[in-house]
Each structure stands twice: as C-alpha cells, then as structure tokens.
C-alpha cells in the first residue's frame, strides 16, 4: 500500500498506511505533546493533551487514536488547540502537588516540561488539593506517590500487556481513582522496574535511586547488560564530569547511579528485566573488586605479575587456558591471535542461574546467564576443562572459579573479582564497564558497549595482557 498524504499545520507529510496522526507527526519531527501514549502499549487516549483539530470537522480529536486519512488537514499549533492544552494542564495539575524541587523525576518529567510550555500559569483553583497516598508500596523495588500520578495507565497497561503479571490496576473511579496492586495480579513481576522508566511523571519511584541524585548531575552511557545471553542494551548513568565531587564522597564519581533500558529494536525493544536494572549493584560492588596484582597471595607490581606469569607459561609442559563467556568479542579475538595456538583452550560459563532466579521466559530472559557464549563457542568450541586432561598450568580467565576443580595445576588468574583462594599469579583485569567492546548475543547479534569509568590504576585490560605473556 502506498503512503498517505496529509498535512499538519500546513506542512505536507506522508503517513504509513494505518498510522495515527501522533505517530506520523513524531516520525516527521513534529512535536505533539503526549503523556499516556506509548508506542509499545495499547492506546488509552486518556490524558487528552494530544488533542488536535481536523480542518472542516467540529471539535477536537486525540491524535494518538486518530488514523490518518488521505488529504486530512490537521491543526496542532493554533490558538484553539493551545487553549485546550492549557485547560488540560489545569486539570492535570489540579491535584498534582507540583513538587518538582523534591521530585526524583524533576529534569526529565514530561508534565513539568508541558506545564512550562503549554500552561505557564498558576492554578485557577483556590480550594485545597486532594491528597492521595504518598508512598504506596507497589512492590519491594517500587514506591508509588499517588499524588503525582496522572492516571495515564502506562504502568497498568505494561503489567497487563508486556510483562503479563496483571499486577497493577486502577481502583475506584472519578477523582478517587488510583493505581493499586491488584489482588488478582501476580505478586511478583520480573520486569516491574520498566514502569518507573515509563512513568511520564514522578509517581513511580525506584527505592534504589530515590533521593540518590538529581538527574541533571548525571549522564547516560550506552552499555550492554551482561546478565544473560540476550545482551540487552542499557544506559548506565554516571556523574557528569563537571559535576564530579572533589571533596568528601569522591567514590560517588565512580558510582553507577541507575540503569535504564536503552531502546534497541533488534534485541530488547524498550524493556529490560529487573536483573538488568540491578546492574548498578554489580558495578558499585567495590568490595569484591580485584584491584591489585598478586604472586602467591602477596601483592606485587603489574610488571612482576606479568613476568611471573610469562615464566610459568614458558616452563609448563602442558598449559591450558579457560576462557570466559563474559569476555568481549575483541578480547577473545586478541586472545586467539596471541595465545590461542600456544595453549589448549577450554570454554567456561562464569554464571549459572542463581537460586530463585527466573531461568528463562518468553519475553527477554535467557537461561544462559552469560553475555557472550555465542562468540566463545564460535572461536573455541564447547569443550569444558577436565582435570583428567593432566594440565600442569591453567590460565583462568574469568570469575567465580573454584580452584579445587583444576587438579593442582599451577594457576594464572585474570579476574575482575577477588578470587576464592590464592592463585600462583593474580592479574586484575578491567570490567566491561571500564573498556569499550561488544558482545554477540544468542541470536548472533552484535551489541556494543562504551566505557563508563576509567579502570583502577593497577588493573590491566585483558587484551593488553595476552601479548605480554
């Protein structure tokens, strides 16, 4: 079918067959305001901020639910439409506390932006605002500030249409309406944190991020979740350079304040699971981080550790290496090029599903809890290390390793986390968040991640290490 010609504010545009006015406008860079509309959810049409006029037809029409018709002439930037938007803003803010200075969403709140753009005046109401529950427990991860809720129903639709938990619903009616946990819904929703990100106002609050930072101090860095073989695109929010703390609390400069889903239509759409939202806990776990080289359990310099490792490999009669499914494509290539032919290579998955963790579902979560199994297996096969092979030296690359399974061979360990024991040589390597790179997910799709933080001083990049061994 051919595209449909129509116009918005006298600007000629083309819409795809079946497209709504709002979708076509957004695709063509025309800014029609919206709050309840979300491209991945059903149309609710309840916020009424996207009302437009159709030339020659009476009244106003919600552009989110208005299919484009050939020759349709839309007015979205005229006096009448502006007056309606101003009225809608008056209604929305009637009982909204407008407490932007203390709201977690300040700085990225659609309502705040529209209030300035389309209303800009004080409330016409002289009566007291209605107060709804301030901190309603949605679950152990999310709080709802019902006063700020504009009942756009995005969260409700998400739990019914995407995560399918049916966890939330809108109870009561009229001005008593409020979002609540439905008794009939599931108690647990493994994708629940998405509703925080998709709330257009500051109603749904992450317990983890609450009061941690104003968003304008932060900036997102594109990364990839390493929680499973899906490899979802995420944004890791770090402190902006010019807002870095220079006095007490400098550890805040190395913190990942929050994780949000990054749209990637090929891999994860617009969602990630709660494990992905918890990626910041992994990044901020400074206590478990391996930061110093060691020889036989004693701190050493990088140079000494590398020399000792080189010596051990040279002396070994039957050396082996275990490579990790957490390593990036680039590191694996570098390893293959420099060490791959000198040692026998085995592959290893660092992580298996933890107790109570969702193993696999139909939406995003995969049973393989490692981000790069595809590339590891492509380069090195599927064979895992066996003590019976009789190796006298094992180069272990990865975390979460039990040395007892290595049958007394000498061990050189390239790790990001402190190991469970003392290897002959420990070389701390950078984490995914301290370097650039890419993973290949279970479908063979390559997803790049950027460097979020600088690596600690005594930590090395794995790809730099191999050529020096």
Partner 1 sequence: MNGHRVFFTFDITEDCHTLDAYKKRGGYEALAKVLKDGLQPADVQAEVAASGLRGRGGAGFPTATKWSFLAKNSPVYYLVCNADEGEPGTFKDRWIFEHTPHNLIEGMVLASYAINSRHSFIYIRGEFDLSYKRLMTALKEAYAAGLVGKNIMGSDFSCDIIVQQGGGAYVCGEESSLLSSIEGKKGYPKNKPPFPAVKGLFQAPTCVNNVETLSVLPWILRNGGAKYAEYGTEKNKGTRLFGISGHVKRPGMYEREVGYPYKKMIYEDCGGILGDKALKAVIPGGNSTPILKPEQIENLTMDIEAVAAQGSMLGSGGVIVIAEGTCIPTLLQVMTRFYAHESCGQCTPCREGTTWMNQIVTRIAKGQGKAGDIENLERIAKGIMGNTVCALGAAAAMPVQSYLKQFRHEFEYFIEHGRSMCDGRLEI
**Closest by Cα among 288, 279, 188, 289 to 231:** 279
**CB 21 to partner 1: min, Å:** 12
| Between 169 and 428, CB nearer to partner 1 | 169
- In the bound complex, what is the minimum distance in angstroms from residue 59's beta carbon to partner 1? 5
Residue nearer to partner 1 on the CB measure, 29 or 59: 59
Q: Cα–Cα distance between 267 and 364 in angstroms, integer?
A: 9
Residues that bind partner 1 (CB under 8 A): 43-49, 51, 58-60, 62, 65, 67, 84, 87-88, 90-92, 94-95, 124-127, 130, 150-151, 169-170, 172-177
Give, in order, the Cα–Cα distances in Å from 304 to each of 183, 294, 426, 456: 62, 9, 11, 18
| CA distance linking residue 145 with residue 352, whole number of Å | 37
Closest CA to 44 of 196, 116, 151: 151
Nearer to partner 1, 128 or 388 (CB): 128
Three-state secondary-structure class, residue 110: helix
- Rounded to 5 degrees, φ, ψ at 310 are -60, -40
The number of beta carbons lying within 10 Å of the beta carbon of residue 245 is 13
118: Cβ contacts below 8 Å, ≥ 6 apart: 33, 49, 82, 85, 86, 88, 89
Among residues 88, 7, 4, the alpha carbon closest in space to that of 48 is found at 88
In this structure, the strands spanning 178-181 and 168-171 are antiparallel
Count of positions (residues) in the chain: 469
Q: Please, what is the minimum distance in Å from the beta carbon of residue 91 to partner 1?
A: 4
Nearest one of 21, 39, 43, 41 to 31, comparing CA atoms = 21
Cβ proximity to partner 1: between 106 and 182 the closer is 182
- Judged on CB neighbours under 10 Å (0-12, 13-18, 19+), 391 is buried
**Considering the complex, what minimum distance in angstroms separates the CB of residue 95 from partner 1?**
7
Q: Considering the complex, state which of residue 61 and residue 207 has its C-beta at the smaller distance from partner 1.
A: 61
Q: Nearest distance from residue 200's CB to partner 1, in Å? A: 13
Q: Which phi and psi angles does 85 have, rounded to 5°?
A: -60, -40
Q: How far is CA 29 from CA 22, 26, 187, 366, in A?
A: 10, 5, 40, 36
57 versus 214: smaller Cβ distance to partner 1: 57
Q: Given the structure tokens 């020889």, which residue do they identify?
A: 295
The nearer residue to partner 1, 56 or 444, going by C-beta atoms, is 56
Q: Pick the closer one to partner 1 by CB: 175 or 291.
A: 175
> What minimum distance in Å lies between the beta carbon of 62 and partner 1?
7
The region, left, alpha or beta by phi > 0 then psi within -120 to 50, assigned to residue 95 is: alpha
Pick the closer one to partner 1 by CB: 35 or 376: 35
């Amino acid at each position: 079918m051919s595209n449909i010609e129509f116009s918005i504010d006298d600007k000629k545009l083309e819409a795809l067959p079946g497209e709504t006015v709002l979708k076509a406008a957004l695709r063509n860079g025309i800014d029609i305001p919206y709050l309840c509309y979300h491209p991945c959810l059903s149309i609710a049409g309840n916020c009424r901020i996207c009302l437009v006029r159709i030339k020659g037809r009476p009244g106003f029409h919600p552009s989110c639910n208005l299919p484009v018709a050939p020759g349709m002439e839309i007015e979205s930037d005229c006096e009448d439409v502006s007056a309606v938007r101003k009225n809608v803003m008056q209604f929305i803010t009637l009982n909204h506390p407008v407490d932007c200075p203390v709201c977690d969403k300040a700085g990225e709140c659609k309502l705040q932006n529209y209030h300035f753009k389309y209303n800009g005046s004080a409330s016409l109401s002289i009566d007291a605002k209605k107060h709804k529950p301030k901190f309603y427990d949605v679950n152990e991860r999310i709080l709802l500030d019902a006063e700020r809720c504009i009942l756009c129903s995005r969260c409700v639709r998400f739990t019914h249409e995407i995560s399918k938990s049916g966890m939330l619903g809108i109870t009561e009616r009229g001005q008593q309406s409020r979002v609540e946990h439905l008794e009939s819904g599931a108690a647990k929703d493994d994708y629940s944190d998405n509703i925080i990100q998709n709330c257009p106002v500051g109603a749904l609050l992450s317990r983890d991020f609450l009061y941690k930072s104003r968003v304008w101090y932060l900036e997102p860095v594109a990364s990839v979740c390493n929680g499973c073989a899906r490899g979802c695109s995420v944004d890791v929010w770090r402190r902006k350079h010019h807002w870095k703390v220079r006095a007490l609390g400098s550890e805040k400069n190395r913190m990942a304040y929050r994780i949000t889903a990054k749209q990637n239509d090929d891999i994860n759409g617009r969602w990630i699971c709660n494990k992905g939202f918890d990626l910041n806990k992994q990044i901020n776990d400074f206590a478990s981080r391996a930061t110093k080289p060691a020889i036989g359990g004693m701190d050493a310099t990088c140079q000494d550790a590398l020399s000792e490792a080189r010596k051990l490999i040279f002396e070994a009669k039957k050396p082996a290496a275990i490579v990790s499914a957490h390593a990036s494509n680039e590191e694996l290539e570098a390893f293959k090029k420099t060490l791959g032919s000198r040692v026998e290579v085995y592959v290893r998955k660092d992580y298996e599903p933890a107790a109570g963790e969702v193993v696999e579902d139909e939406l995003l979560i995969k049973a393989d809890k490692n981000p790069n199994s595809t590339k590891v297996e492509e380069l090195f096969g599927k064979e895992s290390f066996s003590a019976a092979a009789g190796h006298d030296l094992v180069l272990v690359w990865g975390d979460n390793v039990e040395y007892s399974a290595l049958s007394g061979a000498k061990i050189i360990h390239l790790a990001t986390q402190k190991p469970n024991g003392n290897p002959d040589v420990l070389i701390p390597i950078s984490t995914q968040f301290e370097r650039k790179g890419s993973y290949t997910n279970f479908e063979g799709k390559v997803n790049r991640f950027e460097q979020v933080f600088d690596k600690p001083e005594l930590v090395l990049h794995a790809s730099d290490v191999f050529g020096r061994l």
